[in-house]
Chains A and B, each alone.
Chain A
Amino acid sequence: MGTAISTWRSKGLLGPRIRILEHEAPLGYLLLAPMLLLLVTFLAYPFLFGIWLSVTNAQIGDNGHFVGLGNYVFERGDTVFLQSFANTMYYTVVTTIAKLSLGLVMALLLNQVFPAQRFVRAALLLPFIIPSVLSTLAWRWMFDPTFSVVNWVSVHYLHLPAVNWLGTTNTALASMMVVNTWRGIPFFGISFLAGLQTIPVELYEAARVDGATRLQQFRTITLPMLRPILAVVLLLSTILTFGDFTLPYVLTNCAPYNSTCVLSTWAFQIGVNGGYIGIGAAISLVLFPLLTVIVAGVLIGLRSEN
C-alpha cells in the first residue's frame, strides 16, 4: 500500500495534481462543460428561438411581431388541430401499451435458452436499426393501395376482403400504430431483457419452493424488479412517440383529408410548407407543458422509490 502513491505518481497520468480539480464542485462543472457547450449552442438557442416564434405571428422569411398567446387561441378553432391532438394522444397511448406488452413478452422469451440465441437477438433488433424513413417506405409499399402484399395474403389465403389501409381514417391510423409498434418493440424488449437478467435466480427458486405458480412469480417478483427500468423506458418512448414525425409523414402525410395528422405533421404542413411558422411553432409546443409535468412526476416517483 505504501507504494501506491508512488505508483499513481509514476504513472504520470493526467499530469500534476491541479489543486482546484480535487474539489468536487469545480471538477463537476468542468466535466459538464463539453456537454453544456454543445447543448446550449445547438439546442437551447434554437429551442428558445422556437418558443419566441410561437408567440409571434412570424412567417417564413418575415419575423412578424409579438402576439402573446394569440397562436394558441387561434388554433383552438382549428378542427384539424383538434383532431391532430386527439390522434397524437391516441397514437401514443395505444402504441406505448402495445410496445410495452409485446416488449415484455419478447424479453421473457429471449431470457430463455434456445439455439442461435445471439443471432435471434440481433435479428430482433433490426427494426430498430434500419433508418425509420426506409422501413416506413417499405411498410407503405406493403400497405400500397394497389399492390399491398397484406391485401394479397388476406384475399388469397384468408379469404377476407381487401382493405384500403391508407385510404380510410381508422385503418390509416391503425397502420401507423402497427408500424410504430413494429419499430419500437426491440427497444423495449432489449431493455426489459437487461432488467430481467439482473433478477437473481434464487428469488424464483425460493418462490417455487413456496409453491408459487409461474404467473404469481411473474407478478410478485418480475414486475416489481422491472419497475425502475420500466418507468424510464416508458417515459423515453412516450416522449419520442409524442414527437414522432418521420413515420406519420412518410406513411400517410395526413391523408385521407387531413384526418390522420398528428401534431408534428400538422405543424409541419401549416408551419413549414404553408409558411405560418409562428403557428407551426405553437402547435409543436402545445404538448410541452404536459410532458414536462409527466416527466417530472415520473422522475420524482423513481427517485423517492430509490
Chain B
Amino acid sequence: MAASRALIRRSQRYGKQKHEIGDTLLGRWFRVYIPVLIFIFITLFPFYWMAITSIKSDSELLDHTRNPMFVIQPTLQHYQALFTRTNFLHWTLNTAIVAVVSTSLSLFCSILAGYSLARLRYRGANAIGWGVFITYLVPPTLLFLPLALVINQLHLTNNLWSLILTYPTFLIPFCTWLLMGYFRGIPRELEEAALVDGATRLQAMVRIAIPLALPGILSAGMFAFTLSWNEFLYSLIFMSDTAMKTIPVGVTSELIRGDEFFWGQLMAAALLGSIPVALLYSFFVDYFVAGMTAGAVKG
C-alpha cells in the first residue's frame, strides 16, 4: 500500500514541476492556458450542444431561423419524459450492474492471468501473452451471430448474465496486458523474501504483488468499466424486454420511432448516461494516470 501511495505522490510531484526559463505570465498564456482552453472547447462543445438540445422545446428544435446556440424558453419536459415515459432508470441500473460485475469478473481473470504471464515461467507463456492481444483483431460484427447461438444454448437470452459473460472477451485482453506490465515492474525481491519467509506462492501473490499493483488494477478497472458502459451490439442482440435493456440500446431503440428522432430526449439521455460516470472518474483520475504509468512503460 505504501508503495502505491508513493507512486501517486511521485507522479503528483512530477506533474507539478514547472517547466523552464522564459516562464513569463504571457508565455504561460500562450503555451499553456490558451491551448488548454482550446482543447476544452473542442472536447466539451458537443456536450454543451447536447445540454442545449435537451432543454429546448420541440418547436424550438425545429426552428431553423433561430440561433441554435442559445435557448429562448428552456424546458425540462424531455428529462421528465425520459424518466416517466421510458424505462431509463431501469436501463441505467442494468448498465451499471453489467459494468460493475463484468469489470470485476474481468479484473479477477486479468489479475490472475497477468500475474501468471508476467511472473511465472512455463511453456507457452509467451505465446499466450501475444495470443491475448490477437483477440482484439476479431471484429465484433463477425462475432455476434455465432455468439448469439452460444447464448441461446446456454439459455441466457434476455438475461444480464449474457452480457456479463461476453463483455470480458474484449475487456480481459487489455487489462491483462496492462497488469502484466505492472506486475513486471514490481521487484521480484519482495516476493522472494516472502517465499523465503514461508509464504506460499499464492500468499505472496495476494499479500505482496496485488496490493502493490493496486493503481494498475484501478486504472484497468476504469478502462474496463468504460468499455462495458459503452457497449452496444451485443446488448442489442441479447436483450429483448424493454426493462432489460442497457442505456445505449434502450435509448436508440425507443427514442427513434420510424420517422422521428426524439432529439430532446436522446440528448438528455446521452448526458445522463455519461456525466455521472465522469464525476466518478474525477475522483479516481489520479489513480488512473498513476496506474497507467508503470503498466504502460513496462508493457
Give the interface of A toward B (CB within 8 A): 1, 4-9, 11, 13-14, 17-18, 21-22, 24-25, 27-29, 31-32, 34-35, 38-39, 41-43, 45-47, 49-50, 53, 105-106, 109, 111-114, 117-135, 137-139, 141-142, 146-147, 149, 152-153, 156, 182, 185-186, 190-191, 193-201, 204, 208, 214, 228-229, 231-233, 235-236, 239-240, 243, 245-246, 264, 267-268, 272, 277, 280-281, 284-285, 287-288, 291-292, 295-296, 299, 302
From 214 to 272 in chain B, residues with beta carbon under 8 angstroms from any chain A beta carbon are 226, 229-230, 232-233, 247-248, 251-252, 261, 263, 266-267, 269-270
Is A232 in contact with B177, judged by CB distance below 8 angstroms?
yes
- Interface size on B, as a range, is 35 or more
Q: Could you tell me the distance in whole angstroms from the C-beta of B80 to the nearest C-beta in chain A?
A: 19
Across the interface, name the chain B residue whose C-beta is closest to A268: B141
Interface assignment of B137: CB less than 8 Å from any CB of chain A = yes
Our pick among A28, A141, A195, A295 for the contact of B133 (Cβ within 8 Å) is: A295
Is A131 a contact of B112 with CB atoms below 8 Å? no
Task: Render B145-188 as a binary contact track against A, CB cut-off 8 A, 1 for contact.
Answer: 11101100000000000000110110010101100000000000
Main secondary structure of the interface of A (DSSP, over half): helix
Question: Is B292 in contact with A201, judged by CB distance below 8 angstroms?
Answer: no
6 of the cross-chain contacts (CB-CB < 8 Å) are A4-B196, A31-B120, A42-B168, A109-B35, A126-B44, A197-B11
Interface 9-mer from B71-79, B81-89, B199-207: B199-207
Q: Give the complex CA separation of A120 and B38 in angstroms.
A: 12
B221 CB to nearest A CB, Å? 14
A109→B69 CA distance, assembly (Å): 28
Task: Give the distance in Å from the alpha carbon of A119 to the alpha carbon of B134 in the complex.
Answer: 36
When the two chains form their complex, are residues A288 and B122 in contact, meaning their CB atoms are under 8 A apart?
A: no
A229 to B67: give the CA distance in the assembly, Å: 44
In the bound complex, do residue A214 and residue B35 qualify as a contact, i.e. CB atoms below 8 Å apart? Answer: no
Set A42, A46, A50, A124: member contacting B40, Cβ < 8 A: A124
Residue of A137, A142, A147 touching B270 (CB-CB under 8 A): A137
Instruction: Tell whether, in the assembled complex, residue A122 and residue B165 are in contact, meaning their CB atoms are under 8 Å apart.
Output: no
A288 to B21, CA, bound (A): 50
Residues of A contacting B146 in the complex (Cβ-Cβ under 8 angstroms): 45-46, 49-50, 53
Looking at the complex, which one of A17, A142, A245 makes contact with B200 (CB distance below 8 Å)? Answer: A17
Q: Is the CB of A114 within 8 A of B33?
A: yes
Whether B286 pairs with A118 at a CB distance below 8 angstroms is: yes
How far apart are the CA atoms of A289 and B33 in the complex, in Å? Answer: 45
Known: A112-B19, A114-B32. A130 touches B273 (CB 8 A): yes
Q: If A197-B11, A197-B14 touch, does A302 touch B288 (CB 8 Å cutoff)?
A: no
On whether A198 and B49 interact (CB within 8 A), knowing A131-B274, A141-B263, the answer reads no
Tell me the complex Cα distance, A7–B196, Å: 12
In the complex, residue of chain B having the shortest beta-carbon distance to the beta carbon of A156: B67
Q: Are B128 and A296 in contact (CB under 8 A)?
A: no
Nearest A-chain residue to B170, judged by Cβ: A43
Is B197 on the interface with A (CB-CB < 8 A)?
yes
